[in-house]
Amino acid sequence: MCGRFTLTWDDLNALADELGIAQECLADYKPRYNIAPLQRHFVVTTEYEKRMLTSAKWGLVNRWARDASWAARCINAKAETVEKLASFRDAFKKRRCVIPADGFYEWHGPKGKREPFWIHRTDGKLLLFAGLYEAWQKDLGQYETTFTIITCPPNVTMASIHNRMPVILAAKDAEDWMNPREEHPLDLKRLLVPAPEDLLVTQRVSPLVNYVRNDGPELLKEPPLSVS
């Protein structure tokens, strides 16, 4: 499961360089500390070996869908079945993307006392989530791009917190994943594996992240340990 994530970089030059796009593509970008399902973010795709940035809503809606009622159920796609389920099958073959982030949240602990954790790279660099995208006709002649994040079993770092984690692609693998001319998409399932054990660290963060309306740097402050 990946139900919230962040992209907090405020250096547009550095972000554009990391994503391989022109800085002008980030004209509407602002740092986000609590990106939630059904909210807008953006996806990276390639076309004729050129990277493109597209605004998209989190929660995949198939192009043949009559409405967006299933979007909240399609924020994640399991790596194990992504090529089989009708909701994701066509997108897996033809519409693969990368979702940029610099961390994601998971909650852990007993019911009623669950604590949020921010999981991010030890070096602070970007996370490139493997994803799928679709464009469905929201209104006559008006199309909206939507996306889902692919998840896989956890690595050792994540296993103590949650039984799933987003698929995080290395930069070189992201190119292969996004290639729309890939003739054998099933070969790409080799990329849908847990992240290396030493890539991520976990950090306790403020319970303010529990509420989607909160979206600021204060969410990443580590709360004091409670004394029982």
Domain of 136, CATH number, reads 3.90.1680.10
Return the pLDDT at 126: 98
Catalytic residue among 25, 74, 97, 106: 106
Return the pLDDT at 48: 83
Is residue 227 in some structural domain?
Answer: no
Is residue 226 in some structural domain?
Answer: no
Banded pLDDT at 142 (limits 50, 70, 90): confident
What is the number of domains present in the chain?
Answer: 1
pLDDT digits (tens, 9 = 90+) for 22-38: 999 999 999 999 999 99
pLDDT over threshold 90, residue 132: yes
Is residue 213 in some structural domain?
Answer: yes
User: Is 152 known to be catalytic?
Assistant: no
Q: Which domain holds residue 57?
A: 5-220
d(CA 32, CA 91): 26
User: Is 25 known to be catalytic?
Assistant: no
pLDDT digits (tens, 9 = 90+) for 2-23: 899 999 999 999 999 999 999 9
Return the pLDDT at 200: 97
Return the pLDDT at 208: 97
Is residue 31 in some structural domain?
Answer: yes
d(CA 132, CA 102): 19
- Is pTM beyond 0.75 here? yes
Whole-angstrom Cα Rg for the chain: 17
Catalytic residue among 2, 25, 97, 152: 2
Is residue 225 in some structural domain?
Answer: no
Is residue 114 in some structural domain?
Answer: yes
pLDDT digits (tens, 9 = 90+) for 113-128: 899 999 999 999 999 9
Return the pLDDT at 81: 97
pLDDT digits (tens, 9 = 90+) for 49-86: 899 999 999 999 999 888 999 999 999 999 999 999 99
Taking alpha carbons only, the member of 168, 171, 93 closest to residue 132 is 93
Sign of the dihedral defined by the CA atoms of residues 59, 219, 109, 124, in that order: positive
